[in-house]
């Protein structure tokens, strides 16, 4: 960790905390929920050693970055503008943007909305699937009906916050384990009914997988104990707002060189049937799809060496 430096930079009207390592072509690494820059702890030194300037921000609302109180401050147009501004604040015209989980949609939107700032894009776990024909919440309600779906559960401010903040470490332990490659099939949100809570019925493991140490869990616990979960949950509360703000993306393709990496056991992909042909259709220069055997949702933490190799090969091929 001694190779990683920290500072704050102004972008798009807020301050973002960044962790960075190395020098050379800029690579920006965007984390997801419920994480922080720390989810890229294995990639920062590896990319630096390969000759790149690797930068992982705490995204808007997370960690030591600013967290505006308004729910509407977390739509994809705003989040992509954060990253475009960050690239400029780092003194560069453009960068390769890499995102995992919620960071993946931000990476895709940065490529689409700020093509001059994004020379290539890589996504982990969440493929590009274009703009839906109707607002996302309406579509999710049709699909899930009387069943529980976490994105719908997250919509009412205060409800999920209260559940998660009642026992931050326990919530993180259950959520991270449930979506990992080590969890049993269908352990993550698969059998819940409408009216259930997020953590009800989730497995509380006796021990976390080897790739997440107690000190790693300590770090995440400390961050979310300090900040709470309201701002990260507000990202989910902007699903429809993001859709309404981007009508120009109805027929949009990602034109930059792109890469997709995912775990074969990632439960998030189960929510996206037929994702691969859609991704291939909507990316004009898809350089590869890397599926990691036995890997769950936390791609770059579960399989750091494989992810580092795939990213470095992609970057060197640009």
Distances (CA, A) of 252 to 84, 109, 246, 272: 19, 10, 10, 19
DSSP per-residue letters across 13-47: TEEEEEEEE--SSEEEEE--TT--GGGGTTHHHHH
Burial class (CB in 10 A: 0-12, 13-18, 19+), 78: buried
Q: At 221, list the tokens.
A: 């616990």
Is residue 109 helix, strand or coil? helix
Query: Which residue among the candidates 58, 75, 82, 101 is catalytic per the annotation?
Result: 101
Catalytic, 218? Answer: no
Determine contact, residues 183/296, Cβ cutoff 8 Å: yes
According to DSSP, the residues that pair with 289 across neighbouring strands are: 260
Give the DSSP letter of residue 206.
S
Query: Is 42 annotated as catalytic?
Result: no
Task: Check the CA dihedral 176-178-180-182 and report its sign.
Answer: positive
Q: For residues 255 and 138, give the distance between their C-alpha atoms in angstroms, rounded to a whole number.
A: 29
Which positions are catalytic? 101, 297
């Amino acid at each position: 960790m001694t190779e990683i430096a920290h500072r704050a930079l102004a972008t798009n009207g807020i301050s973002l905390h960044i962790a960075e390592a190395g020098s050379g072509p800029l690579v920006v690494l965007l984390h997801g929920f419920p994480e922080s820059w720390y989810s890229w702890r294995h990639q920062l030194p590896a990319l630096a050693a390969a000759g790149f300037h690797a930068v992982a921000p705490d995204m808007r609302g997370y960690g030591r970055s600013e967290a505006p109180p308004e729910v509407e401050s977390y739509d994809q147009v705003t989040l992509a503008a954060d990253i475009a501004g960050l690239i400029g604040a780092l003194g560069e015209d453009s960068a390769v943007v890499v995102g995992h989980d919620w960071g993946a949609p931000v990476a895709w939107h940065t490529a689409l909305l700020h093509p001059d700032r994004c020379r290539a894009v890589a996504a982990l776990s969440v493929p590009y699937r274009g703009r839906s024909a109707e607002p996302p919440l309406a579509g999710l309600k049709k699909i899930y009906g009387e069943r529980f779906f976490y994105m719908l559960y997250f919509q009412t401010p205060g409800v999920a916050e209260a559940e998660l903040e009642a026992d931050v470490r326990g919530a993180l332990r259950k959520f991270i384990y449930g979506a990992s490659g080590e969890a049993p099939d269908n352990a993550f949100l698969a059998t819940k009914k409408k009216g259930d809570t997020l953590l009800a019925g989730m497995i509380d493991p006796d021990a976390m997988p080897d790739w997440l140490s107690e000190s790693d869990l300590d770090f995440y616990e400390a961050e979310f104990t300090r900040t709470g979960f309201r701002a990260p949950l507000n990202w989910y509360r902007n699903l429809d707002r993001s859709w309404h703000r981007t009508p120009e993306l109805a027929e949009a393709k990602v034109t930059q060189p792109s890469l997709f990496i995912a775990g074969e056991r990632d439960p998030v992909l189960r929510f996206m049937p037929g994702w691969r042909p859609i991704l291939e259709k909507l990316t004009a220069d898809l350089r590869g799809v890397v599926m990691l055997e036995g890997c769950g949702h936390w791609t770059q933490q579960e399989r750091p060496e494989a992810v580092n190799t795939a990213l470095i090969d992609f970057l060197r091929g640009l």
